[in-house]
Amino acid sequence: MKHLARILKELEECNTEQDSSGITLSLKPDNLTRLIGSIAGPLGTPYEGGSFQIHIALPGAYPYEPPRMTFITKIWHPNISSQSGAMCLDILKDQWSPAVRLKTALLSVQALLSAPELRDPQDALVARQYICEYQTFIDTARSWTENFARVPSLGVEEKTGTDETVSPMIW
């Protein structure tokens, strides 16, 4: 692949800053044009506490063409297909630029979880629910996060700052 050095540099940059962003990136072992991205669900959203895996396919002309990204983890969101994981995001289409890094694209996906773009939904049923039955949307999105994206607890209880012990919060 012509742009292998850039891809390797992007992998390194993304993974050295993962603690602050909640984003990781890894190569699939058998193919340098296939990666797996992981984003943390944003705080204050029904996706909070979830870890979402995203399949990333780099075209031969990357970085001059945008990567193709689809959710592996099932998610209930107006701009992401609840069936296929396909997403609708301008930075992955007509707003792409070779200056955009994979981490920036993943940060944009993470931001989309906080602020759906209802003028361009990928899943009409979810968008309609978001508009007409917002609380049902929140409950469904939380349920899907719990069932499909929740990072398993290791049975470790969290300490408060006192002597009392509190179990990790679950919605």
Q: What does DSSP say about strands 68-71 and 165-166: parallel, antiparallel, or unpaired?
A: unpaired
Q: Which uninterrupted H or E stretch holds 129?
A: helix 124-132
Question: Active site residue: 87, 88, 89, 106, which one?
Answer: 88
Which DSSP symbol is given to 115? Answer: S
Cα–Cα distances (Å) from 167 to 26, 125, 143, 154, in that order, read 31, 35, 19, 11
Please confirm, yes or no, whether 14 is among the known catalytic residues.
no
- For tokens 């292998």, the residue is 4
Give me the numbers of helices (H) and strands (E) for the chain, helices first please.
5, 6
- Identify the sign of the CA torsion 31, 33, 70, 108: positive
Provide the annotated active-site residues. Answer: 88
